[in-house]
């Protein structure tokens, strides 16, 4: 009797311990009573009624990622390709998630495939390859609306890979190669054009600089020649001035000596000398000037006396 009672106590303690539930962070538990939904337990300590209540489902509330296999799709221009997608979702309502759909992941996968076919069917091949962001946005909006009754929120949808047919890939590679060659030819032509322009510009600048240097040289030569002529003219003027000054001094000397007629006679002789210009071999002197020798002698004597 004592042993049986001990067994009953152990069973009762185990039953009571099984009724104590601790819900971890970012988790939830859906509890049913007699097969009907009773409550959703959040984080913390909870107790359930033995036998009558049970935990129907444990739900992870963290954001989850599911990677679906590539799906065949047909573009608007009848090109068949394969696209695999990645869906980021989070459970927002454990009750709806538990009772809204039988297999949520399979439902999301099928919904993703049909939505992707609908969107790609309105796009051509080139648009499909260049409109990833647009396709992602449209798919996320459609899936988010469709999964609301299931207690699921789709946060993001990404096209992981777009796989066109082999023939299309080969044609695209050839097109890309041709485009690269075209760009290379354009860059080479642009480089040659710029090089030619720079060479021509350099030649132009060189000619301009040479012309400018020649101009400056001519100006300097002209300035030097002008300065030389000015100095030469100044020298001649100074020489003439000195000669005239000497003549004036001589005349003044003669006048101070009281020989006015002699001065006139000497000037007359100078006029004859200039007329001869050093080229005449004979000079005819008028009779009035024949006594010039005596006059000159008198002038010399007067000068000595002074």
From-to residues of CATH 3.30.479.30 in the chain: 64-164
**pLDDT beyond 80 at 81:** yes
Q: Which CATH number fits domain 64-164: 3.40.50.10420, 1.10.760.10, 3.40.50.300, 3.30.479.30?
A: 3.30.479.30
Mode of pairing for the β-strands spanning 80-91 and 152-163: antiparallel
Confidence bin at 165 (pLDDT 50/70/90): confident
Least-confidence region, from 3-12, 50-59, 122-131: 3-12
**pLDDT beyond 70 at 43:** yes
Q: Sign of the CA dihedral 237, 240, 242, 245?
A: negative
Least-confidence region, from 117-131, 216-230, 284-298: 284-298
**pLDDT beyond 70 at 48:** yes
**pLDDT beyond 70 at 209:** yes
Confidence bin at 240 (pLDDT 50/70/90): confident
Nearest C-alpha neighbor of 71 from the set 107, 121, 104, 117: 117
Task: Give the per-residue pLDDT at 7.
Answer: 80
**pLDDT beyond 80 at 257:** no
**Global confidence as pTM:** 0.54
**pLDDT beyond 70 at 272:** no
């Amino acid at each position: 009797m004592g042993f049986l009672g001990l067994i009953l106590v152990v069973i009762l303690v185990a039953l009571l311990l099984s009724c104590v539930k601790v819900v971890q962070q970012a988790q939830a538990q859906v509890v049913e009573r007699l097969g009907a939904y009773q409550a959703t337990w959040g984080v913390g300590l909870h107790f359930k009624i033995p036998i009558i209540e049970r935990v129907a489902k444990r739900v992870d509330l963290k954001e989850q990622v599911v990677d679906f296999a590539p799906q065949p799709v047909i573009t608007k221009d009848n090109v068949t390709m394969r696209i695999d997608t990645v869906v980021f979702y989070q459970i927002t309502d454990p009750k709806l998630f538990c009772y809204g759909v039988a297999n949520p992941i399979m439902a999301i996968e099928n919904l993703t495939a049909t939505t992707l076919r609908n969107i790609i069917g309105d796009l051509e091949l080139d648009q499909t390859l260049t409109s990833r962001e647009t396709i992602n946005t449209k798919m996320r909006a459609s899936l988010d609306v469709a999964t609301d009754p299931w207690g699921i929120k789709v946060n993001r949808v990404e096209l992981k890979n777009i796989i066109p047919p082999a023939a299309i890939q080969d044609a695209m590679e050839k097109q890309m190669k041709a485009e690269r060659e075209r760009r290379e030819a354009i860059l080479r032509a642009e480089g040659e054009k710029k090089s030619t322009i720079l060479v021509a510009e350099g030649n132009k600048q060189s000619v301009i600089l040479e012309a400018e240097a020649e101009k400056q040289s001519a100006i300097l030569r002209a300035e030097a020649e002008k300065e030389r002529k000015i100095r030469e003219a100044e020298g001649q003027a100074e020489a003439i001035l000195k000669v005239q000054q000497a003549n004036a001094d001589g005349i003044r000397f003669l006048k101070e000596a009281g020989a006015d007629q002699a001065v006139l006679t000497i000037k007359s002789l100078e006029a004859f000398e200039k007329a001869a210009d050093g080229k005449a071999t004979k000079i005819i002197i008028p009779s009035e000037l024949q006594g010039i020798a005596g006059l000159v002698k008198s002038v010399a004597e007067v000068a000595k006396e002074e």
